[in-house]
Amino acid sequence: MTSTDPDDLAARLTDLGPHLDHPPAVTLVTDVRARLDQAPARRRRWRLLLAAVLAAAAGLAATPPVRSAVASRLGIGAVRIDPVDRLPSTGTTIDPVAPARGAVSFPVRLADPALAGPVRAVATDPAVPGGLVAITYERFTLTEIAASAGQRPVIAKLVGPDTAIEYLTVRGQEAVWLSGAPHAWSYLDPDGNLRTEPFRQAGDVLLWVDGNVTFRIEGLHGPDGRAVALALAESLR
């Protein structure tokens, strides 16, 4: 027969406490006993019973099976919270450049994520023969333009006297580094005429050709801009 004597129940629960696993930093029992010492004598027996119950509950809640059972019932509104030991796989990674790959005539290449960081935005321009794709990263924009042999240029760059022109190589191919004062640029039509749209300004730029694609890295400023641009260009895959 189950005892209903509060003193007997308190004794049983108190005896149960040391046999339960619980985090060593738990101070529940100590805090409750301190409160009991300040309570009137007539209330201490019932508060002692409460302390024993709380101690047992703390020990049980610290055990993984009980903790999971309690947590599995948690939820809010239409959302159920299910604790698991390991999160499920999220499946395939979304490629932000996928739509652009089908909009140009050449394989789109990306900079090494370890150097460039994640892709922020992607835009294409179907008006350019063969296609143009602009891939924006946090610090710079990588533009790739179709440029087959014998094709007329599709972009014009107007360089003033305060813009420096330096000839370099990227992957063994001819390259140009434009730095200093911002320069202007605009598209050329198939006949080689400038479009009537307003010119746009650009900062330091690295330009080079690889195969049938012209590459452009813009947006890197400061004393290390040239070195970073070259490292990014070499990292394209």
* Model confidence, pTM: 0.57
Please report whether residue 93 resides in a domain: no
Please report whether residue 175 resides in a domain: yes
Last residue within a domain, chosen from 80, 110, 132: 80
The reply to whether 165 and 107 lie within a common domain is yes
Please report whether residue 184 resides in a domain: yes
- For the beta carbon of residue 184, count every other beta carbon within 10 angstroms: 15
**CA 208 – CA 185 distance, rounded (Å):** 16
The reply to whether 103 and 178 lie within a common domain is yes
Predicted local confidence at residue 219, as pLDDT: 87
Please report whether residue 85 resides in a domain: no
The reply to whether 179 and 108 lie within a common domain is yes
Predicted local confidence at residue 129, as pLDDT: 79
Is residue 186 classed exposed, middle or buried when 0-12, 13-18 and 19+ CB atoms within 10 A define those classes?
Answer: middle
Total domains in the chain come to 2
Q: Are 131 and 104 in contact (CB under 8 A)?
A: yes
The reply to whether 104 and 69 lie within a common domain is no
The reply to whether 126 and 198 lie within a common domain is yes
Show the tokens assigned to 79. 């959302």
Put residue 68 in one of left, alpha, beta given phi > 0 → left and psi -120 to 50 → alpha: alpha
The reply to whether 117 and 230 lie within a common domain is yes
Please report whether residue 88 resides in a domain: no
Question: Radius of gyration (Cα) for the chain, nearest Å?
Answer: 35
**CA 232 – CA 215 distance, rounded (Å):** 11
The reply to whether 149 and 38 lie within a common domain is no
Predicted local confidence at residue 90, as pLDDT: 62
The reply to whether 224 and 142 lie within a common domain is yes
The reply to whether 231 and 188 lie within a common domain is yes
The residues near 37 (Cβ < 8 Å, ≥ 6 apart) are: none
The reply to whether 121 and 196 lie within a common domain is yes
The reply to whether 170 and 207 lie within a common domain is yes
Predicted local confidence at residue 127, as pLDDT: 76
Residue-wise pLDDT tens for the chain (237 aa)? 555 566 676 666 666 666 666 555 456 556 656 665 665 655 556 565 555 555 555 555 555 555 555 555 567 776 777 778 887 766 666 788 999 999 999 999 999 999 999 999 999 988 777 889 999 999 999 999 887 656 666 666 666 777 788 999 998 999 989 887 665 656 666 666 666 454 555 668 898 989 889 899 998 888 899 999 999 999 999
Range of the domain at 208: 98-235
Q: In the block, which residue shows the tokens 């450049």?
A: 97
**CA 145 – CA 171 distance, rounded (Å):** 17
